Amino acid sequence: MEVRVVATLQAKPECVDAVNDAVHQIIEASRLEVGNLQYDLHRDMDKPGSFVFFERWASNEALEKHNATEHFKLFVSQVDGKLDLLEIKKLKQIA
């Protein structure tokens, strides 16, 4: 069953550049993962320093494998302490 993820990150004002660098660095490796169907990064036009990932994974197992990769762990360490908000929604399409 396909899993979709919407992850919203709001950088602390003094950390916007560092978070911007980190969110851009994780994209390519994540898109190459087996089970990744979509991995897109967006910037909220009304909130400076707000980034939104739209992700589609072939299964929950594929998502769990992504979360265990070295590039994801590095990303988590790069944004640690630099966010005012981190909201992750795992979604299942029902219609």
Q: Where are the domains of the chain?
A: 3-91
How far is residue 92's CA from residue 51's CA, in Å, rounded to a whole number?
A: 21
Distance of alpha carbon 42 from the chain centroid: 10
Q: Rounded to the nearest 5 degrees, what angle is found at the Cα of 18, between the Cα atoms of 11 and 33? A: 90
29-38 pLDDT per residue, tens: 999 999 999 9
Mean pLDDT value across residues 67-71: 98
Which residues are paired to 55 by β-bridges?
5, 39
- Average pLDDT value over all residues in the chain: 97
Indicate the fold that domain 3-91 takes in CATH.
Alpha-Beta Plaits (3.30.70)
Taking the model in full, what pTM does it have?
Answer: 0.94
Categorize the per-residue pLDDT at 14 as very low, low, confident or very high, splitting at 50, 70 and 90. very high
Share of the chain above pLDDT 70, in %: 100
